[in-house]
Structure 1
Amino acid sequence: MPVSYKNKVANTLEPSHHPYLNGAWTPNFTEYTATEMEVIGEIPTDIDGVYVRNTENPVQQPIGNYHPFDGDGMIHSMSFRDGKAEYRNRFVRTKGFNAEQEAGEALWAGIANNPELSKRPGCGAQGSIKDASSTDVVIHAGKILSTFWQCGDGYQLDPYTLEQQGTVGWAPIDGISAHPKVDENTGEMLFFNYSKYPPYQHYGVIDRNNKLVHYTPVPLPGPRLPHDMAFSENYSILVDLPLFWDPELLKQGRHHAKYYPDTPTRFGVIPRFGEAKDVRWFEADPTYVLHWMNAYEEGDELILEGYFQDQPDPEPIEGLPRAVGKMMANISISCFQSKLHRWRFNLVTGEVIEQRLDDRPLEFGTFNQSYAGRKSRYVYSVWGEPNWFLFSGMVKHDTDTGESWSLPFGEQRYGSEAPFAPRVDAKDEDDGYLVSFITDMKENRSECILVDAKDIEAGPVCRIILPHRICSGTHATWASGDSIRRYQDGEV
């Protein structure tokens, strides 16, 4: 397998029995560029673009207790064109990553520790941790944007080479949360952030040229922990969820998330370029939602789909020390029991109607992004390995008919979030591929798979073997080669 670039990053991480520092979560320290990889099957010629996945991948021996959300950002990419593919992986050279490389040790304690353990002032909504830029990833205005779940600077990379291109430059003082949303129909990107200080949340719009053109507070009653947002053609949807830092403990400098089951979920609907006075709040059943799917307008209604958690505060996994069991339960789909769900907001009467779309625990869904903000039909979710933050298979839903189709990844094979990649000259909504990185523990290797979205039960149409076994990761995205090249060639 030709490898044209190989670079091992200096690290101090020691071997560990921590459940998220070994097995399928064993960190990588070597960066590769690989072409002419072994292919099982044949790479289709009608796919053109880049699949990108972010990864929590720690480099330094942690200070105190390690949480898998503490790891440094590592971007893995597979680019496709003319029936060929190229693989790359690079650490995101954040300010924190560079500082720790220079120091040769960890400088910040993670989210499961006393803030006083950090050796330098931190950042993010919590205020004392490292902006690892390791959570989410999108491609906007021809550039990769990696972001951190507790808000950070936002780091850019070239989609094809993964060349580091620094921070976005327009990030507000409270940073950018994970899950900014790209509207492919307008070229705009919508984002939010949150903090421990009034008004506690802001919302903004970036234009197709990567310029901040709108920024407004969307006030909340106190510090909150939103994780995602959604948008329709005319509105953006932000949330006030009843799981947030305990206010009394927060006064003591302790960041303990607590669920308040008697407090409703609130949805803030704001016109895309609206201000605080324009926000309209809708109340619904209490829950926590990590990730939203599409939203669209239909008559007087605004319709939103996402993953309603039946157990936002799950009991610790039995047989483990309580702190470890609780940490593992909090990030396990099978424990917090997230179910595909639909909310309908009547913009005239204020009524909210909820509908369960599937009773199976599912999460980390994707859909055809060219339909974002407009009526769509198909959602592609994953299910998890029981008690673990690992993905064992995918499900395709037809939300119009209620039908679904499933694809298990196989024994000890764990996948990634699988974005939809439209075929070149696609004819309809599900005319394309689902793309995922798979870590195969039995074969001790990783691969990139393409699955025909019209027939996921047929399994992968091809499997591309990577030059190393990669660490399991979080969010992923897809962007067409045509759109990236138009930006890079200055045609937009």
Structure 2
Amino acid sequence: MSINIVNRFQSGIRPSAHPYLNGAWTPCTEEVDADELEVIGEIPKDLSGVYIRNTENPLHEAIGVYHPFDGDGMLHMMSFEGGRASYRNRFVRTEGFRAEQEAGRALWTGIAGNPSKSEREGWGARGRMKDSSSTDVVVFGGEALSTFYMCGEGYRLDPYTLEDHGRAAWVPPEGISAHPKVDPRTGELLFFNYGKKAPYMHYGVVGPDRKLRHMTPIPLPGPRLPHDMAFTENYSILIDLPLFWKEELLEAGIHSAAYHEDLPTRFAVVPRYGSENEIRRFEAAPTYVLHWTNAWEEGNEIVIDGYFQEDPDPAPIRMPGIDPRFGKLLANIDYHSFKPKLHRWRLNLDTGGVREERLHDELVEFGTINQHYACRPNRYVYSATAVPGMFLFAGLKKHDLETGETTSLSFGEGRVGSEAPFAPRVGGEREDDGYIVSFVTDTNEDRSECIIVDARDIAAGPVARVILPHRISSGTHVVWASHDEIRQQRAMA
């Protein structure tokens, strides 16, 4: 193993029993380049591309209660080519990260904190928060683009070296939310944002040349908290969900979310380059949806698959040895509390009606598909299962939407993974002809690794395990991009 430690950072976090600062969530404090990695098994020679994961990784003691989604963004990258692998990790050099490094302490409160205690103005739909850019990552215009769930800048990095390329120039003043979408057919990026000022949401399109081509308001009745969007070949779908801040408390500066079960889930369907007056609205059963897996047009319907939460506002979790203040925080990010299940919505463009159906009854979320099937019917979804009571991924489930069958992979006792993208096999022809890739942290061995699983038979377990040079923290979202896709995007940019 060839290791170059590029940077080491001093952590100012005091020892505590906080469940999201220990165990698999222990922050990583070094940036490393590593090649000639130890491999258990054999890396497939027809695996060609980069796997990048975003991770919440705090360096400073929080002002108030720390929430795991507050941590500074750190990207971890594995590059595969010809049966070999290399690894890089870097903090995302956001404005907030640089300011706190200079100050030597936290300057902003997080999601569970009081905004008035932030020392400076900040970013985000709530305001006075740090844009940590630690939620999502996509590959767009031949670069890695990291984003923040509460709306902020788009930070650009080289997908191979993770060299800082600065902020994306096209991002509007209101910022962008996590989960911008890259259309693999056109190279366009679709995004949305939300906030506390009317019209409360905007939607936009960025061309493959990284220039803003279109932006339009998506008016909402008030401040909302959407997390994801979907798109088809001709339409973009934005969402108004009945879980949002209590309006009566917002005037006092208190950001307390509540579930309004008497309100419907509302879809706004707009042509890709459509305007406000072209929006079609659809109403469905109330729920909250964190993530969609795919959407497509089928006759006179738009079909959307995602994860329907059966209990969007769960009761606090009480765990022995854990501070009761963490109870609601724990529940809000625990599958076994909010109960997400794979679900389908059909929006009828002729009648305005909505039909819904449950696709599976397992508690799963963070699904991925073969992105070559974006905007058209996909047969397979690869979802993550979770450790009860914690935001930790215990394994994977492969859903066959044609037969209804599922197959499973457990990462093993004391081993937790990440959202796992599908990586098409070079020359592959079938939808599941490829690999599932995931970082796994093994708390038994005190190390991390990258596993490669044959997507046609996930139950067989990894065909290769690449041992990382250090243990990494748990995190949220990931992306896979082939070397050919990156070259093609760079040619268009």
TM class by shorter chain equals over 0.9
> Is the contact made by 2:136 and 2:477 (CA closer than 8 Å) also made in structure 1?
yes
> Is the contact made by 2:187 and 2:489 (CA closer than 8 Å) also made in structure 1?
no
How many Å separate the matches in 2 of 1:340 and 1:113? 32
Q: SS of 1:96's equivalent?
A: helix
The Cα shift of 1:398 comes to: 1.1
1:378 aligns with one of 352, 355, 380: 380
Deviations, residues 211-253 of structure 1 (Å, cap 9, x unaligned): 1100000000000000000001111110000000000000100
Residue correspondence of structure 1 range 72-471 to structure 2 within 5 A: 72-319=72-319, 320-471=322-473
> Is the contact made by 1:397 and 1:403 (CA closer than 8 Å) also made in structure 2?
yes
> Is the contact made by 1:10 and 1:101 (CA closer than 8 Å) also made in structure 2?
no
The Cα shift of 1:262 comes to: 0.9
How many Å separate the matches in 1 of 2:325 and 2:292? 29
Please list every run of 5 or more consecutive structure 2 residues that lacks an aligned counterpart in the other structure.
none
Q: SS of 2:18's equivalent?
A: coil
The Cα shift of 1:321 comes to: 4.5
**Corresponding letter in the other structure for 1:417:** E
Q: SS of 1:375's equivalent?
A: coil
The Cα shift of 1:469 comes to: 0.9
The Cα shift of 1:368 comes to: 0.8
> Is the contact made by 2:5 and 2:30 (CA closer than 8 Å) also made in structure 1?
no
**Corresponding letter in the other structure for 1:468:** H
How many Å separate the matches in 2 of 1:298 and 1:113? 45
How many Å separate the matches in 2 of 1:89 and 1:192? 28
When the two chains are superposed, the root-mean-square deviation of aligned CA atoms in Å is: 1.0
1:484 paired residue number = 486
> Is the contact made by 1:9 and 1:29 (CA closer than 8 Å) also made in structure 2?
yes
> Is the contact made by 2:140 and 2:489 (CA closer than 8 Å) also made in structure 1?
no
How many Å separate the matches in 2 of 1:372 and 1:193? 22
| Aligned length in residues | 491
> Is the contact made by 1:50 and 1:481 (CA closer than 8 Å) also made in structure 2?
yes
> Is the contact made by 1:226 and 1:240 (CA closer than 8 Å) also made in structure 2?
yes
How many Å separate the matches in 1 of 2:15 and 2:37? 30
Q: SS of 2:32's equivalent?
A: strand
1:71 paired residue number = 71
Distance 1:91 1:371, change over 3 A: same
Please list every run of 5 or more consecutive structure 1 residues that lacks an aligned counterpart in the other structure.
none
How many Å separate the matches in 1 of 2:219 and 2:14? 44
Alignment TM-score, normalising by the size of structure 2 = 0.98
How many Å separate the matches in 2 of 1:127 and 1:487? 34
> Is the contact made by 2:392 and 2:417 (CA closer than 8 Å) also made in structure 1?
yes
**Structure 1, 319-328 or 393-402: larger mean CA deviation:** 319-328
How many Å separate the matches in 1 of 2:211 and 2:21? 39
How many Å separate the matches in 2 of 1:341 and 1:491? 36
> Is the contact made by 1:11 and 1:104 (CA closer than 8 Å) also made in structure 2?
no
> Is the contact made by 2:228 and 2:291 (CA closer than 8 Å) also made in structure 1?
yes
Q: SS of 2:326's equivalent?
A: helix
Q: SS of 1:98's equivalent?
A: helix
**Corresponding letter in the other structure for 1:471:** S
How many Å separate the matches in 2 of 1:209 and 1:375? 28
> Is the contact made by 2:208 and 2:489 (CA closer than 8 Å) also made in structure 1?
no
**Corresponding letter in the other structure for 2:443:** M
How many Å separate the matches in 2 of 1:50 and 1:9? 26
How many Å separate the matches in 2 of 1:273 and 1:450? 39
The Cα shift of 1:174 comes to: 0.7
Deviations, residues 158-208 of structure 1 (Å, cap 9, x unaligned): 000000000001111110100000110111110000010000000000111
The Cα shift of 1:486 comes to: 3.3
Alignment TM-score, normalising by the size of structure 1 = 0.98
Q: SS of 1:326's equivalent?
A: helix
